[in-house]
């Protein structure tokens, strides 16, 4: 078997491309191949997300998410400037729906301070200046470094930089099997590689298990639905978010502004029935549905999360009217009749630890034999991708 690449990256999403890019930046002249199963880039989470450049204040100060999101926000801005990708400086406000949420809002502010993220506490009058459409009770949080860009434009620009640096991106190349030192694709059969990096998103657990890595994890996908507003571009100026429920890793229904100024409501966190459950039967796998169905009875009794509450609040969000109404406490002028254009849904590659029945909150990077596995690349891994890549590549070289 001839060695055909020094490094093979499984998955051509934003994380896989960032990893190839970071490897080539540190090791110019080495051979790097990215294997992507789809015929086009950005077919999964990297092209189906809100495009919000998060600031990094939600996460526990000792987490990878806290460090890599703050760094990733800065790196992604630099990258967009270098490659001419537009970034819209929306900022973001986090608003309360009752006085009861004020302690949680203050806790978010403290987290921001601990994570080195600039935030301001503002009162109702200041909020009206920042975003006249938003409402809060007493105080709100203002994050000036949150922004937005087109997720697909970032992926395309990153792919171009990988190619400019000499990397190869093979589309339509599903990896069927892999192990220490080899990968097998339908197109090229078995080929030997020096080091394999697993960035397979919704399938990252399966790939890791081929190497005996992360066996305590199972993918528990959650579907994110969106609805676009018919408002004229620029009517909503800032992203408007609620205070999140700390027991679940999702941020709650929010309003975001797209890079071209449109208002968008979502995403939901509806339990998905298979990994690529975007609607219809595309990507349906009876095996995946069976695996997910087997996990739910014990997950429902998890002591760490309010799973019955999550299911009860998320399932009705299949109804557009219901979902849009969830945004009214944040922005009272929102009307279901104004939000009727469906966005491209996304599925979150959320991992469940089946031993302690806990949803993994942080990014997870695990070494394996001649391999490295990026697991749980959930939100905000699009923002953090360039920083995640630097962190992972430095770890491989150490
Ligand atoms: C609804 C939603 C909203 C989000 N909003 C935001 C946001 O606003 N800001 C933010 O920072 N993050 C956001 N995220 C998170 C962000 O989208 C992800 O963290 C990020 O895209 C993960 O990138 P990835 O490369 O790991 O995954 P993916 O984009 O899923 O890429 C993985 C790739 O691997 C390929 N693949 C899988 N298996 C194989 C195989 N066997 N062989 C070859 N290829 C394979 C897949 O086809 C896929 O293209 C959101 C996510 C969702 C779902």
pLDDT tens, residue by residue, 348-388: 999 999 999 999 999 999 999 999 999 999 999 999 999 99
Distance CA 198, CA 366 (A): 10
pLDDT tens, residue by residue, 307-328: 999 999 999 999 999 999 999 9
* 243: pLDDT strictly greater than 60: yes
* Length, in residues, of the chain: 398
120 CA distance to ligand 1 centroid (A)? 31
Nearest atom in ligand 1 to 202's CA: 30
pLDDT band at 154 (very low <50, low <70, confident <90, very high): very high
pLDDT tens, residue by residue, 11-53: 999 999 999 999 999 999 999 999 999 999 999 999 999 999 9
Pocket of ligand 1 (CB under 6 A): 10-16, 35-38, 43-46, 48-52, 54, 174-175, 199-203, 224, 267, 346-348, 377-383
Q: With contact defined as beta carbons under 8 Å apart, do 346 and 49 qualify?
A: yes
What per-residue confidence (pLDDT) applies to 292? 94
Distance CA 196, CA 182 (A): 8
378 CA distance to ligand 1 centroid (A)? 7
Read off the pTM: 0.97
What per-residue confidence (pLDDT) applies to 2? 52
Listed residue (205, 170, 208) closest to 8, CA to CA = 170
pLDDT tens, residue by residue, 269-314: 999 999 999 988 888 999 999 999 999 998 999 999 989 999 999 9
CATH number attached to the domain at 1-88+146-217+356-398: 3.50.50.60
Mean local confidence (pLDDT), 163-178: 97
Distance CA 186, CA 109 (A): 50
Pairing outcome for strands 189-198 and 371-375:
parallel
Q: Where are the domains of the chain?
A: 1-88+146-217+356-398, 92-144, 222-348
Mean local confidence (pLDDT), 124-138: 98
């Amino acid at each position: 078997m001839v060695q055909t690449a020094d490094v093979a990256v499984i998955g051509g999403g934003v994380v896989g491309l960032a990893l190839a890019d970071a490897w080539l930046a540190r090791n110019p002249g080495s051979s790097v191949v990215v294997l992507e199963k789809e015929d086009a880039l950005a077919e999964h989470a990297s092209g189906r997300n809100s495009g919000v450049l998060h600031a990094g204040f939600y996460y526990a100060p000792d987490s990878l998410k806290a460090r890599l999101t703050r760094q990733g926000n800065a790196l992604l801005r630099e990258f967009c400037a270098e490659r001419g990708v537009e970034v819209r400086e929306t900022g973001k406000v986090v608003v309360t729906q009752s006085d009861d949420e004020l302690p949680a809002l203050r806790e978010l502010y403290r987290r921001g301070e601990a994570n080195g993220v600039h935030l301001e506490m503002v009162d109702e009058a200041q909020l009206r200046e920042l975003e006249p459409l938003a409402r809060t009770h007493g105080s709100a949080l203002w994050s000036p470094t949150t922004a937005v860009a087109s997720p697909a434009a970032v992926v395309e620009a990153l792919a171009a930089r990988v190619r400019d640096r000499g990397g190869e991106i093979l589309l339509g190349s599903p990896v069927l099997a892999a192990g220490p030192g080899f990968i097998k694709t339908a197109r090229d059969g078995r080929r030997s590689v020096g080091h394999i990096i697993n960035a397979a998103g919704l399938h990252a657990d399966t790939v890791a298990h081929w190497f005996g890595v992360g066996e305590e994890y199972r993918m528990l996908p959650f579907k994110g639905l969106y609805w676009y507003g018919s408002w004229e571009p620029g009517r909503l100026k800032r992203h408007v978010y609620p205070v999140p429920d700390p027991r679940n890793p999702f941020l709650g229904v929010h309003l975001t502004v797209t890079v071209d100024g449109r208002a968008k409501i979502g995403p939901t966190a509806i339990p998905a029935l298979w990994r690529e459950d975007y609607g219809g039967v595309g990507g349906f796998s009876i095996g995946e549905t069976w695996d997910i169905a087997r996990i739910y009875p014990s997950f429902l009794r998890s002591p760490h999360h309010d799973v019955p509450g999550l299911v009860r609040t998320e399932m009705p969000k299949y109804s557009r009217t219901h979902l849009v109404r969830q945004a009214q406490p944040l922005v009272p002028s929102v009307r279901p009749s104004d939000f009727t254009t469906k966005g491209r849904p996304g599925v979150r590659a959320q991992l469940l630890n089946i031993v302690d029945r806990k949803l993994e909150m942080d990014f997870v990077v695990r070494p394996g034999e001649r391999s490295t596995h990026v697991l749980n690349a959930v939100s905000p891994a699009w923002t953090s991708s360039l920083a995640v890549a630097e962190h992972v590549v430095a770890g491989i070289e150490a």
